[in-house]
Amino acid sequence: MKRSSIFYSITFIFFIASIGVLVAYYNLVKYDKQKYTKELNDRYAIVARSTLLRILSRPLDKNFKKELKIYKVRLIANPDLMENILQNGEILQKITLRIGNSSIYYYKKNNYLLIESINGKSILLEDMAYKPYVTQILYIKLIFGGIAIILLLTYIMTIKKLKPIRKIKAQIDKFASGDLNINCKMEEKDEISEVANAFDYAVSQIRKLNNSRRLFLRNIMHELKTPITKGRITAEMLENGKQKDRLISTFDRLESLLNEFTAIEQISVNGEHMNKRVYRIIDLIDEAIDVSMANKNRLELMIQSDLSLKVDFKLFTVAIKNMIDNGIKYSDNNYVKISANFKSIQFATLGEKLPNDLSYYTAPFTQGEQRRTESFGLGLYIVESILLAHHMKLEYEYLDGYNIFKFINIQPIV
């Protein structure tokens, strides 16, 4: 159990409470035992003083035995029993008075009072009202036993009430990892159940919205694909000229945007539908170059040939393609240096340092101040989304006149 866990905190609180109950029980027993012993000694002192006065004033008779019954004691008349008690009994306390002495003896689970007067007379009395202290603390045991049981039951009930938190946390972890197929609905009426049911309802609403969004995107892409294709074919039929080139460029751009929307739709659920396999980085980069239709004379490759990654082939090549397109488009010399090793994949282009942080350019539909009409700003946003879906990260630095974008945390397959 983690020390930061609420279960640990509650267990610790109940442990301290239990220690407190035990300390209170010990102190109460100690106090009650002292009180019981004092009351017993006070009674014996009264009996001893009264008996000594009786012995000194007149002889022992039947009336004396009746007087002893008032104090709940009786006279031991058997000399053998008296000798046995005095020899084998344990002396608990001696009381010295002006007119004599008295001693308390404990023998066979009972108390006896030996009274000796100054004139040499002695008698032994048995305490008929004596009860061992163990029987005296029975009520204390019952009280504290009840408190301990209530404390234990309260702890068990509290832990049982909080136990669903672990289930909720497990469902939240699944939700955070992109799994929307979770269920944390509860039938109880307590606050934790209300939180769980509210979270379950929120997830169901997100699931509905996500499904609607995906259906909408797919329908839009499906409906746009046909007119774009027809428009592209129609543009090819026109006579060569500036208008034809503009139309073909426009339809190419629309088709590129459509492909980018397809990538966004696929990665927007944290890569839930990705098909990851192991591919050589050289194959991924070659595919990205082919897709981007970039002039290889505009590229310089420094690739570690034995480097392989476990990625979704289609998505990862889109990320590399976007970096190549942006590099060629926005560099001062339309030239990109691509290097890949076991630490990172880098794209270096000559140019001025970006005026804003990387997060500004990875936001959707964001672009630099220059050439703002050349891009809708989805390139780096898609790249970062694809990398996050692969548990990687996009990093930027400016070094020796070059803008360097890096894919880090690439986790190469050895």
Cβ(307)–Cβ(412) under 8 Å?
yes
Give whichever of 95-99, 201-205, 261-265 has the largest mean pLDDT: 201-205
Cβ(206)–Cβ(213) under 8 Å?
no
Q: Given a cut of 80, is residue 145 above it in pLDDT? A: yes
Q: Given a cut of 60, is residue 368 above it in pLDDT? A: no
User: In terms of DSSP H, where are the helices of 58-137?
Assistant: 62-70, 79-88, 133-136
Q: Given a cut of 50, is residue 374 above it in pLDDT? A: no
Q: Given a cut of 80, is residue 28 above it in pLDDT? A: yes
Q: What is the pLDDT of residues 329-357, one digit of tens each?
A: 889 999 999 999 999 999 999 999 988 88
Q: Given a cut of 70, is residue 370 above it in pLDDT? A: no
Question: What is the reported pLDDT for 342?
Answer: 92
Q: What is the pLDDT of residues 72-93, one digit of tens each?
A: 888 887 888 888 888 888 888 8
Mean pLDDT computed over 27-46: 80
Q: Given a cut of 70, is residue 265 above it in pLDDT? A: no
The better pLDDT of the pair 18, 216 is held by: 18
Give whichever of 204-218, 237-251, 320-334 has the largest mean pLDDT: 320-334
Q: What percent of the chain has pLDDT over 90?
A: 15
Q: Given a cut of 70, is residue 325 above it in pLDDT? A: yes
Q: Given a cut of 70, is residue 37 above it in pLDDT? A: yes
The better pLDDT of the pair 120, 155 is held by: 155
The better pLDDT of the pair 159, 260 is held by: 159
Structure tokens at 270: 């944290």
Return mean pLDDT, the chain: 80
Backbone angles phi, psi at 215, to 5 degrees: -65, -40
Query: Where does the pLDDT of residue 180 fall: very low under 50, low under 70, confident under 90, or very high at 90 and above?
Result: confident
Structure tokens at 7: 């279960």
Q: Given a cut of 90, is residue 240 above it in pLDDT? A: no
Query: Where does the pLDDT of residue 142 fall: very low under 50, low under 70, confident under 90, or very high at 90 and above?
Result: confident
Question: What is the reported pLDDT for 280?
Answer: 93
* Distance from the first to the final alpha carbon of the chain: 36
Q: Residues 53, 56, 60, CA angle at the centre, nearest 5°?
A: 95
Question: What is the reported pLDDT for 279?
Answer: 94
Assign residue 117 a region: left if phi > 0, alpha if psi is -120 to 50, beta otherwise? beta
Question: What is the reported pLDDT for 349?
Answer: 94
Rounded-to-10 torsion of CA 88, 90, 96, 102 = -50
Distance between CA 255 and CA 291 in Å, rounded? 12
Q: Given a cut of 80, is residue 394 above it in pLDDT? A: yes
Distance between CA 134 and CA 29 in Å, rounded? 10
Residues 6+ apart with CB under 8 A from 106: 89, 90, 91, 92, 112
The better pLDDT of the pair 319, 239 is held by: 319
Query: Where does the pLDDT of residue 156 fall: very low under 50, low under 70, confident under 90, or very high at 90 and above?
Result: confident
Domains and CATH numbers, the chain: 6-136 (no CATH), 177-270 (1.10.287.130), 276-408 (3.30.565.10)
Mean pLDDT computed over 171-189: 75
